[in-house]
Structure 1
Amino acid sequence: MYSLLLSIIYFAFISLGLPDSLVGAGWPVMHDDLGVPIAYAGIITMIIASGTIVSSLMSDRLTRKLGTGLVTALSVALTAAALIGFSTSGSFWLLCLWAVPYGLGAGAVDAALNNYVALHYSSRHMSWLHAFWGVGASISPFIMSYALTEGLGWASGYRIVGIIQIALTVLLFIAIPLWRKVNPGIPQDHDAQEGAPITKPLSLRGALRIPGVPLILLAFLAYCALESTAMIWSATYLVQDRGVTVETAAAFASFFLLGITAGRFLSGVIADRLGDRQLIRYGFLLIGVGALMIALPLETSVFALAGLVFAGFGAAPVYPAIIHSTPENFGRHNSQAIIGIQMAAAYTGSTLMPPLFGVLGTWLGMWIFPFYIIVFVILGLVMTERLNGLVARRKTESAA
């Protein structure tokens, strides 16, 4: 049963990644069909991100009331409905309407599954699970490409992914009894470490008062800011500032995402040996090395291209390790609420920071790209190291 539930969670993480790349993959055709400017993609993604932030903040209350299994099933069902809605939309404003459940479904399942895995599975499984998110995020552009090249239209791309999500929803509803059979007495009503009853969900204000929570939120925002900025702007930087051909830049920009996915599979092998703190520390340092390689003022672009791959590998363990360390840093009874808030911080960083770079890059020049990344590397590293010191002092005081 343990292995069966783990397999289902793996599929759920693939499902989590599937919708994430669809808007970007289909928009070059969609905006023409809908008769709207290409910049309107930002409106869609902002609505999705807003819904994701809201449902992430509500995840603690929802999971305590419904359980992880039911929240996961309902969230995937909501996402499936939104994807089918996209496939039937003939106007931009209908897309905006369906973007609301699109985002709400993503945030709740993300926070619920991440907390469940952090509580009940080892660090290596967290790394591998997030690698499967990368698999899902990489598959969906190919599905959209197939729909477009075969003359089926962008709506068919959404419909295909929606049908996959519906099939997974059925599987998740069937599997709901497994969650409690595998982990009976899980900490939805009691703290598994302390045996203390949980009387009510932890509020946002209450969570922010816990020492160290603001530190990890800033670190998580920093990581997601640099990740999304690199994914969106690296190809433009390579072309405009380093004189790389469009084809080569596009290939290496995709290597950043592939580096994250492959790196998570590889880091899962050593995750339990190194531990979450070391994975976070070395991950940020490797991203910094990659950014410095990109910034080197050399005539050849080889170091810049290699630096982008280095940065992708460095980024691989940071997100999963931050999530997995949350129960240890803040207590199992607080982890669901804090992971939900971390998800909100993550989506805030990935939504707001790339457009900010776009403004700064237009004003100052694309040359600032690696230095923009380095700023967030320093912020993330400083915040996580301060948290490590805080947690170590807390453990020393408890032991005394």
Structure 2
Amino acid sequence: MAFISLGLPDSMLGVAWPVMQSDFGQPLEIAGLLFMVIAGGTIISSLASGPVIKRMGTGNVTLISVFMTAIALLGFSFSPSLIWLFICAVPLGLGAGAVDAGLNNYVATHYKAHHMSWLHCFWGVGASLGPIIMSQFITTQNSWRHGYVAIAVIQFALVLLLFFTLPLWKRVALRSHGDFSEEQDNKRIVSPDETTLKNVKPLQIKGVKFALVSFLFYSAVEATIGLWGSSFLVNVKGISVAVAAQWVSLYYAGITVGRLITGFITLKVSNRILIRTGQIIALIGATFLLMPLPTNFSLVGFILIGLGLAPIFPCMLHETPARFGKEHSQSIMGYQMAIAYTGSTFLPPILGMIVSYSTMEIFPFFIVVYIITMLLGSEKVNALMKLRLYEKNVNA
């Protein structure tokens, strides 16, 4: 439920902005600045999540963060001017980043891989419901403000639920404490010795930087297709705007449904295999966009990329404690979320700037390069994990 609430506001600004823009008398590009303020707050809170959660606990931080997002959304609905939208964007971003990093590490540490996949599947549910709720209020009442009020009410209801269930967080942590070492999906990956990590900074652990590369370019692929996929289909493939929007929605459906299915597959298949398989499927889909094939192959390509991306993000997150140890997993999780938000915030606009000086035909080239870079970073981490296992066996 917390991850549904995390997804609810993510796609609302884009749906509401055409109406908000006329109400505030602002140019189109102001929405991009608002988005960057929200993303900036998310990156900051993700980076700071490690020490904050260690001091306050995941349950308390989640409660406070959801309360911040509820207040921010309510603030959006009552904002009398543009400056108030920017002020409310700050707590909205700060709250989202803390929830994201905190819950991801909590599930990676205390639950199994299928729980992580389903967690991110339900983010997709929230991201899908947000525009539906907002469009309903805009259509029936011609009011984007009431749409933000409705989402804020849902967030406040979740705040109450989180408050009354605070004792459950520690109970689950104690109950699952002994299960972590037993549950690792990939038995060959051996976590680093916790005693050797206490005097080591998180970024100094072998493989962390390559993992961050994978997260950066994963988010770049996901966000770039979401932002520019429709424009590519319209301008390069000659598809109508309405059909292009439907095809991009099928891409998102591929991610959401793929994560639901992945949850069941993780019961039998390791995270490593799912990550690698997903990257290969996404690369095949991107190749369909790159090659001069009939237009219908572009639809297949978008769906394949969506299905391929589905297992990658949750499985990489779930591997964090196994790869780098529980001692620093929360801090590293914060770094991973921060770098992921950085990729989704800055790399798609950079492509847009390049396209403005060239042509939209370069879009699939960038997608292919992003996926290959993500794959190489991920495989480098796997190689380092195998080396650690070999060294441990030799020492034994």
The TM tier, using the shorter chain, reads over 0.9
**Which residues in structure 2 correspond to 1:282-361 (within 5 Å)?**
282-298=277-293, 300-361=294-355
Paired with 2:79 and 2:344, the residues of 1 have a C-alpha distance of 27
Distance of 1:239 and 1:26 partners within structure 2: 23
Alpha carbons of structure 1 residues 277 and 199: separation in structure 2 relative to 1, 3 Å? closer
**In the alignment, which residue of structure 2 is the partner of 1:209?**
204
C-alpha distance in structure 1 between counterparts of 2:45 and 2:197, whole Å: 21
Normalising by structure 1, report the TM-score. 0.92
1:176 matches 2:170: no
Question: Which segments of 5 or more consecutive residues in structure 2 lack a partner in the other structure?
Answer: 183-190
| Aligned counterpart, 2:231 | 236
Q: What corresponds to 2:186 in structure 1?
A: none
- Alpha-carbon offset, residue 333 of structure 1: 1.2
Which amino acid in structure 1 is aligned with residue 244 of structure 2? A
The percent of aligned pairs where both chains have the same amino acid is: 46
Superposed, 1:366-377 pairs within 5 Å as 366-377=360-371
1:269 to 264, 268, 288: 264
CA distance in 2, matches of 1:152, 1:81: 23
Aligned partners of 2:111, 2:361: CA distance in 1, in Å?
42
SS in 2 for 1:333: coil
Q: Which residue of 1 is the match for residue 118 of structure 2? A: 128
C-alpha separation in 2, matches of 1:291 and 1:197: 42
Query: Which residue identity does 1:392 align to in structure 2?
Result: K
Letter of the 1:288 partner, please give it: L
Secondary structure at 1:159's aligned position in 2? Answer: helix
The question of whether the paired residues in 1 share the 8 Å contact of 2:259 and 2:311 is answered with yes
Contact preservation (8 Å) 2:41, 2:91: yes
Summarize the alignment of residues 110-121 of structure 1 with structure 2, pairs less than 5 Å apart: 110-121=100-111
Q: What amino acid is aligned across from residue 379 of structure 2 in structure 1?
A: E
Q: Secondary structure at the match of 1:58?
A: helix
Amino acid of the structure 2 residue aligned with 1:332 = K
**CA displacement, residues 334-363 of structure 1 (integer Å, 9 cap, x when unaligned):** 110000000000000000011011012222
Distance 1:199 1:279, change over 3 A: closer
**Residues 1:143 and 2:137 are matched in the alignment:** no
Query: By how many angstroms is 1:272 displaced?
Result: 3.0
Match runs of 1:10-89 below 5 Å: 11-89=1-79
**Tell me, which stretches of 5 or more residues in structure 1 are unaligned?**
1-10
Counterpart-to-counterpart distance in 2, 1:76 and 1:371: 39
The alpha-carbon deviation at position 15 of structure 1 amounts to: 0.9
Normalised by the size of structure 2, how large is the TM-score?
0.93
Shift of 1:195: 7.4
Q: What do residues 238-268 of structure 1 show as CA deviations (whole Å, max 9, x unaligned)?
A: 0000001111101001111111000000111
Aligned to 2:251: 256
- 8 Å CA contact 1:296–1:304 kept in 2: the answer is no
SS of the residue 2:147 aligns to? helix
- Cα deviation code 1:7-53 (max 9, x no counterpart): xxxx1111111110111111111111111101101110110011000
Aligned match for 2:373, one of 375, 379, 397: 379
Count of aligned pairs: 382
**Alpha-carbon distance in structure 2 between the residues aligned to 1:212 and 1:297:** 38
Secondary structure of the 2:237 match is: coil
Alpha-carbon contact 2:194-2:327 (below 8 Å) kept: no
Name the aligned partner's letter for residue 345 of structure 1: I
Deviation at 1:183, TM superposition (A): 2.2
Asked whether the equivalents of residues 198 and 327 of structure 2 are also in contact (C-alpha less than 8 Å), the reply is no
Question: Structure 1, residues 360-382: CA drift from partner, whole Å, max 9, x if none?
Answer: 22222111111110011010000
Deviation per residue, 1:28-87 (Å, 9 max, x gap): 111111111011011101100110000001111111111111111111011101000001
Distance 1:151 1:176 in 2: 37
State the shift of 1:269 in Å: 1.1
Q: Distance in 2 between matches of 1:25 and 1:321?
A: 30
SS in 2 for 1:337: helix
Shift of 1:399: 2.3
Whole-angstrom CA distance in 1 between matches of 2:279 and 2:354: 23
